[in-house]
Structure 1
Amino acid sequence: MHAYLAGGTGAIGPRLIRQLVERGHQVTATTTSAAKVPLIESLGATAIVVDGLDAAAVGEAVATVRPDAVVHQMTALAGGISTKQFDRSFAITNRLRTEGIDHLVAAAQATGVPHVVAGSYAGWTNERTGGWVKDEDDPLDPTPPPAQRESLAAIRHLEAAVRAADGTVLRYGSFYGDPGDAMAEILHKRQFPLAGGGTGYMSWVHLDDAAKATVLALENNVRGVFNVVDDEPAPASEWLPYLAGCVGAKPPLRLPLWLVRMVAGDVAVSMLTRTRGSSNERAKRALGWEPGWPSWRQGFRHVAEVSA
């Protein structure tokens, strides 16, 4: 298979390239920076510099490569994420999830590429009522906090565009797996508190497992929407103190909701008290996927040991 990977140097891109190449596939991966071309080439892929928001450039690139599948992994989060100004933090990523996916789908259809795969998200996006663990048939949140509305609208757009093209949407859980992640420093400074009872659920996935699921979606030519998360959705009251212990930090502070809301905004309160986790049963069944790290408990500990 020849895969065109839009976004070859983000969180998942290098791992996805490595796994595809190891399994005998050809990869052409894009970057917006010429300085990152050597990284892509060192992994065994062909690198091209393409702005994913430039429709003409995307169309020309896909037409030239003529791949068997296109994969959308484009994000722009180098500046970090502010919970108080969440949509502003995701402004370019939201454009990549709307304009970017539209350009990529149009290029694929114009060139006759039969399969479109796109990375979506399964962290805070589920409806925040009812059971604490949702599957792909449950609705996305109809009333997100105001600071997340544009970002959720972008996710809806991406998923709708891919489904209209009979493609594959992979809703990744929250990523971890990079040694030296900035989260450790935040926890050591006790800047990540628990709000109220810490009842908000999170679903995690190791980056290697997310890449593995993406490879299987491509190889098995599976279509639809899949939650790519580990086996253990968990509330903040469990995973946050555990992560702090893994990195040798003191337990997180417990703060009242009013104080967290004042300091970090409604998004932080929502994520720590109301968000729902996701089930991975459909992905395991349809993709033939089993996470190498079935629980964040073992995964967090391993990453912390590697980083030490």
Structure 2
Amino acid sequence: MGNSELSPRVSVIMGVYNAMGRKEQLLQSIHSILNQNYKNFEFIICDDCSEDDTCAFIKKIAEYDDRIVLLQNERNMRLAFTLNRCLGVARGEYIARMDDDDVSYPDRLKKEVEFLDDNQEISIVGSNAEYIDETGVWGESNEIRYPQKKDLLWGPCFIHPSVMMRKNAIDILGGYNNSTRRGQDYELWMRLYAAGYKGANIAEKLLQYRWDKEAYKKRKFIYRIEEAKIRYKGFKKLGLHPRGLLFVIKPLLAGIIPNKIIRLIHEIILSSIKNSNENNIRGIK
């Protein structure tokens, strides 16, 4: 059994859906949290009404570690709603995100807790990450150390499953926006910054982030339209218009430029990442 605490300082939240096709990745992700050096946490996992045995599989794991709190939606509600369900039962002072196919380094929670404890002016902290796929590690990120409002023009500035946030700030803003189907993290970061909160990234790799190098070819145009809407509303709240209007159309352009050109652009960027560890690609996936 885990070292259950009456009042955990950290609540790790994760949404899952139909994960049995990648069971080993799910298991690795869960174990990377349960095996953290920092022990005072609860691990809240919400199954978004999976059509396979994902929930039953996690329930078996939870029998051996009472830090796991397992929830299940009555119907498929998408990620934003699922994460808000986790937030609704979270008891921790800090909220850490995790995805069901990524891997947290053993000292991730410890270092993020220490950072927030030592930097009271910061409400969200993320980290650098290694990019992984089925072939292994293929690159790494170099996130902006202290993102400013203007940096959000280019993209989210934080790797979602790497972040830890102060729960009181998230509660004040009402959590994630349930209407978002994609980009719920980007939308939340912009609301946080618009409300005056600040963020930072630890200049260390604390996560292995699974990212498909071919993702840019798979995104539906409807999701690009939704991202454009998120950008327009977010930039308006941040006071970044009219300059922000140029960046609003960025995902739309990526959706209409021929695949051959997009592929060439991504090959150039991916080559740059491997050679110089630059991280400028997630905003144009």
TM-score (norm 1): 0.32
TM-score (norm 2): 0.34
